[in-house]
């Protein structure tokens, strides 16, 4: 396939003058439209207007420009099909050997503050995707270019091979087009779905779509995955930066210092972020293997960090520190004087605090921006072999009015505050989760066990004497009395749990017998 004629019509005009000039120098005839044609003509690059080529003017405020048989016939005709070529000659259609098109800036438009629906709709490209898809379908005969980053290599190959491109290049360009147009359509689908949801239409959010559309863009390649023998990469939700997706996330966070993040770093940082977003107060947590090994809220960030660290200093080595407030110098001093810390994540950093952290060469420092209420409904995905599980994200929270005291003894006001804090932490512990708390700080955490009583044993052992007078939060119900008995032996004063076991009555009786107050939430926070 030799490129003799190219249709050039681009929204992103970066590099197009140089590209078109090189095509012209090689004798390629250029067709163009609108602003692109005006730009090329002003640069003294000859072009023929598409309206002159088709014999039909642009109409409907430019909505119809290239939707014409003389365009799509010239793109879709199979060159070695005699019947196709006979019809091309019969209807006076000229062949088009290259299409250089990128689409209206829909993504940029919807990211603007206070964008109106009408403006977004006018930036839905119709002719561009149609030309791209026609050319990509006929890639054996038509070169199709939607990515300005490829202009240079295409010119080099055309010069080196007498205006021809290899089949491999043609195929790769076509594949890139279908990736590009599918992403574009996905953005439109998401925007319109959210826009009409906001207008109170009858869209049923309780139902899961029959076909699930996921759009992710690669942020970076990783050195490896969970283990060195596994390859890895990090992708972001393609809508995370748009107007309708403003919640702080790992994908939108900035790295301010330190060596590159690993696969496991990213998992742990996300776990830390999700936990600290639970609290409006100064809060700190330390994460290992996606589980907290300490968490606390205090009047100051420094004291919150110190209390979180005290829970399990052994496990905290090499951990991820999560902070709910802007990091100050005093707290930074505490962090750098601690044993080895892998990463710190916070909404922001005071200048002197950041300088302190930067003294640790390999310490990864991540800034999320200020926390706010999640601006969109997020799904929780779990990949399984050959499929995907999807559910609502667990955003359920409680306050004192949601709780039901089921024992004769009631918790004190201070115990109640710690119970609610422990319940929030338990939500972020991989089950079976048992969290022991004193004065709104964890003192022992049991996680990842096959039996709940084993998690109670682990949490009690980690807490030691601090378990005396502590309160216990459990992510799911106690199926037997043994967990309550073990908690009582450790000195636990109060328990918060969902309830809902067929043996709730026996569990409550055991708590009464041991002098423990117990609260049912009616909500489970199980993480399988």
The residues carrying an active-site annotation are 137, 289
Instruction: Give the residue carrying structure tokens 């205090």.
Output: 298
Instruction: Give the residue carrying structure tokens 């490209």.
Output: 125
The SS3 of residue 233 is: strand
Strand partners, 255: 366
Report the candidate in 299, 298, 304 with the shortest Cα–Cα distance to residue 286: 304
Strands (DSSP E) along 89-190, which ranges? 98-102, 143-145
Report the candidate in 19, 76, 24 with the shortest Cα–Cα distance to residue 47: 24
Strand partners, 383: 388
Work out whether the CA dihedral 335, 340, 344, 350 comes out positive or negative.
positive
DSSP for 318-387, please give it.
TEEEEESSPBPHHHHHHHHHSS-EEEEEES-B-HHHHHHHHTSTT-EEEE-------SS--EEEEEETTE
b vs e for 284-300, b when ≥16 Cβ sit within 10 Å of the residue's Cβ?
bbbbbebbbbbbbbbee
Strand partners, 285: 295, 322
Strands (DSSP E) along 103-242, which ranges? 143-145, 216-222, 232-237
Report residue 208 as tokens: 């899961």
Counted residue by residue, the chain has a size of 528
Instruction: Give the residue carrying structure tokens 């390999």.
Output: 362
Give one word for 427, left, alpha or beta, with left for phi > 0 and alpha for psi -120 to 50: alpha
Supply the Cα-derived Rg of the chain in whole angstroms. 31
Dihedrals φ, ψ of 359, to 5°? -70, -20
Report residue 119 as tokens: 């403006």
Work out whether the CA dihedral 108, 110, 115, 118 comes out positive or negative.
positive
Strands (DSSP E) along 134-177, which ranges? 143-145
Report the candidate in 478, 391, 386 with the shortest Cα–Cα distance to residue 432: 478
């Amino acid at each position: 396939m030799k490129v003799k004629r190219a249709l050039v019509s681009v929204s992103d005009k970066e590099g197009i003058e140089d590209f078109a000039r090189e095509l012209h120098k090689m004798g390629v005839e250029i067709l163009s439209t609108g602003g692109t044609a005006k730009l090329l003509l002003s640069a003294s690059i000859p072009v023929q207007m598409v309206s002159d080529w088709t014999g039909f003017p642009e109409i409907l405020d430019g909505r119809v420009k290239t939707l014409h048989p003389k365009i799509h016939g010239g793109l879709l005709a199979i060159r070695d099909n005699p019947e196709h070529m006979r019809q091309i000659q019969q209807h006076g259609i000229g062949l088009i050997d290259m299409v250089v098109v990128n689409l209206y800036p829909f993504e940029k438009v919807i990211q603007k503050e206070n964008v109106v629906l009408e403006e977004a709709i006018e930036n839905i490209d119709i002719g561009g995707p149609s030309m791209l898809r026609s050319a990509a379908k006929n890639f054996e005969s038509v070169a199709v270019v939607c990515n300005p980053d490829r202009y240079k290599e295409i010119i080099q190959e055309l010069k080196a091979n007498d205006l021809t491109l290899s089949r491999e290049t043609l195929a790769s360009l076509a594949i890139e087009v279908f990736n590009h147009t599918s992403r574009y359509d996905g953005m439109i689908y998401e925007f319109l779905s959210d826009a009409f949801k906001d207008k109170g239409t009858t869209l049923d959010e309780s139902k899961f779509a029959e076909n699930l559309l996921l759009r992710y863009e690669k942020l970076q390649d990783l050195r490896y995955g969970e283990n060195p023998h596994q390859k890895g990469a990090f992708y972001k939700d393609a809508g995370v930066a748009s107007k309708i997706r403003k919640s702080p996330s790992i994908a939108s966070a900035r790295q301010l210092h330190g060596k590159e993040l690993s696969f496991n770093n990213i998992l742990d940082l996300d776990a830390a972020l999700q936990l600290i977003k639970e609290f409006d107060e100064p809060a700190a947590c330390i994460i290992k293997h996606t589980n907290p090994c300490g968490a606390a809220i205090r009047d100051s960030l420094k004291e919150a960090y110190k209390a979180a660290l005290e829970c399990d200093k052994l496990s905290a080595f090499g951990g991820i520190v999560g902070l709910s407030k802007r990091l100050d110098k005093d707290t930074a001093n505490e962090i750098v004087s601690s044993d080895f810390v892998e990463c710190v994540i916070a909404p922001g950093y005071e200048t002197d605090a950041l300088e302190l952290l930067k003294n640790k060469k390999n310490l990864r420092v991540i800034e999320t921006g200020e926390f706010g209420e999640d601006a969109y409904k997020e799904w929780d995905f779990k990949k399984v072999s050959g499929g995907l599980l999807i559910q609502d994200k667990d955003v359920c929270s409680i306050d004192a009015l949601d709780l039901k005291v089921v024992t004769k003894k009631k918790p004190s006001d201070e115990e109640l505050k710690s119970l609610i804090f422990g319940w929030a932490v338990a939500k972020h512990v991989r089950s079976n989760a048992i969290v022991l708390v004193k004065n709104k700080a964890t003192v022992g955490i049991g996680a990842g066990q096959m039996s709940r009583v084993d998690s109670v044993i682990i949490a009690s052992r980690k807490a030691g004497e601090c378990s005396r007078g502590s309160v216990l939060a459990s992510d799911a119900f106690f199926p037997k009395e043994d967990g309550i008995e073990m908690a009582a032996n450790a000195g636990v004063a109060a328990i918060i749990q969902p309830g809902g076991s067929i043996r709730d009555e026996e569990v409550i009786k055991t708590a009464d017998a041991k002098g423990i107050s117990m609260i049912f939430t009616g909500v489970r926070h199980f993480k399988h």
